[in-house]
């Protein structure tokens, strides 16, 4: 039985096929890129490693949700990345050092209908000084940002990643995670928490298509030292050459995409982080105190 098709219909369908084949010939990579675009949420995206990670994702055509406290810097980054890579970017000004910050960020993504494929918990800060002399409100904010909000965001976004059977989480820890840190006791402890949480979650989730990576950089060329109150003649001596934020971000991005559990940047940092396992713990603490001074 022949199909009942008029000459005009055949012509219209033929024109459609011709146009479709032309698009496939001329723009195959673009079509593939559009169909595979995912979305990454990056905290602390206004500067340093967070800003460079945003560029890494944008270069691969990943849409972005960027959050930080500095709206003006976020807007500058968004304009640059949109113009350079043609991706969609949502901005949300938020203070994750406040108790409601993580939930507000999650609700924003829900209200915009955004599914998060990549979660990057980059926001964090440190402080220096003998513990009993430190500002308690600053310690409280540090614990809220470095630990509580990071944990809450993981808990909020993981269930939908499990449904999608895909997810990548990058938690920015530090080489500080591998030993106690006199004169930065709270900061070192928060980063140790991030490392151990990441390792545990990776084990729980890897069979669901989700990986969790703890990025552990050493001293890096960012504004961390200034914000933490380091003196210029200490571990962050101005004369010392440290890796750039871009170097660390690219390293962490590649490790996350490979699904690595722990990514320590730099061979010397790797040796130092692992060497602590072979010395008595009281030695490790004393050596760390000497290095911090």
Q: What is the pLDDT of residues 44-96, one digit of tens each?
A: 999 999 999 999 999 999 999 999 999 999 999 999 999 999 999 999 999 99
- Residue 24 inside a domain? The answer is no
Q: Which of 118-127, 178-187, 190-199, 278-287 has the lowest mean pLDDT?
A: 278-287
Q: CB under 8 Å to 163, separation ≥6 — which residues?
A: none
The pair of three-digit structure tokens given for residue 173, joined into one six-digit string: 């820890």
Inform me whether the pLDDT recorded for 24 exceeds 60.
Answer: no
Instruction: Report which of 74, 86, 88, 149 is spatially closest to residue 119, judged by C-alpha positions.
Output: 149
* Start-to-end CA span in the chain (Å): 90
The pair of three-digit structure tokens given for residue 292, joined into one six-digit string: 């911090």
Residue 10's pLDDT band, with cuts at 50, 70 and 90, is: very low
For the chain, how many structural domains are there in total? 1
* Segments in 174-228 forming alpha helices (H): 185-205, 224-228
What is the domain extent for residue 242?
39-292
- Residue 3 inside a domain? The answer is no
> What backbone phi and psi angles, to 5 degrees, belong to 117?
-95, -35
- Residue 8 inside a domain? The answer is no
Other C-beta atoms within 10 Å of 124: how many? 26
Q: CB under 8 Å to 138, separation ≥6 — which residues?
A: 127
- Residue 30 inside a domain? The answer is no
- Residue 215 inside a domain? The answer is yes
What is the pLDDT at residue 274?
Answer: 87
Give the strands of the sheet with 167-172, arranged side by side.
Answer: 89-93, 63-68, 39-43, 118-121, 167-172, 210-216, 262-264
What is the pLDDT at residue 25?
Answer: 47
Instruction: Report which of 149, 65, 58 is spatially closest to residue 115, judged by C-alpha positions.
Output: 65
Look up the CATH number of the domain holding residue 99. 3.40.50.720
Q: What's the pTM value of the predicted model, to 2 decimals?
A: 0.82
- Residue 21 inside a domain? The answer is no
Active-site annotation holds for 27? no
- Residue 1 inside a domain? The answer is no
Rounded CA separation 175/210 (Å): 24
What is the pLDDT at residue 292?
Answer: 81
Average pLDDT over the chain, rounded to an integer:
86
Q: Which of 27, 85, 118, 187 is catalytic?
A: 187
- Residue 5 inside a domain? The answer is no
């Amino acid at each position: 039985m022949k199909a009942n098709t008029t000459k005009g219909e055949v012509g219209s369908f033929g024109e459609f096929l011709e146009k479709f084949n032309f698009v496939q010939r001329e723009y195959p990579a673009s079509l593939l890129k559009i169909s595979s675009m995912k979305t990454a949420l990056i905290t602390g995206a206004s500067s340093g490693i967070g800003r460079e990670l945003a560029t890494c994702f944008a270069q691969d055509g990943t849409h972005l949700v960027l959050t930080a406290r500095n709206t003006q810097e976020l807007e500058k980054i968004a304009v640059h990345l949109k113009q350079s890579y043609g991706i969609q970017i949502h901005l949300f000004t938020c203070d994750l050092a406040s108790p409601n910050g993580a939930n507000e960020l999650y609700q924003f993504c829900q209200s915009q209908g955004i599914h998060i494929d990549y979660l990057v918990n980059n926001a964090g800060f440190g402080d220096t000084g003998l513990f009993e002399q430190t500002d308690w409100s600053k310690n409280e904010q540090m614990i809220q940002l470095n630990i509580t909000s990071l944990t809450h965001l993981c808990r909020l976004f993981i269930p939908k990643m499990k449904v999608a059977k895909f997810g990548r989480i990058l938690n920015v820890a530090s080489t500080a995670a591998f030993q106690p840190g006199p004169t930065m006791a709270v900061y070192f402890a928060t980063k140790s928490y991030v490392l151990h949480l990441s390792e545990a979650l990776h084990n729980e989730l890897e069979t669901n298509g989700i990986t969790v990576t703890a990025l552990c950089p050493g001293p890096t060329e960012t504004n961390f030292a200034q914000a933490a109150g380091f003196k210029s003649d200490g571990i962050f001596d101005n004369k010392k050459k440290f890796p750039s934020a871009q170097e660390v971000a690219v390293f962490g991005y590649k490790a996350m995409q490979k699904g690595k559990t722990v990514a320590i940047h730099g061979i010397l940092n790797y040796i130092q982080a692992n060497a602590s396992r072979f010395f008595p713990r009281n030695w490790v603490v004393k050596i760390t105190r000497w290095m911090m001074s």
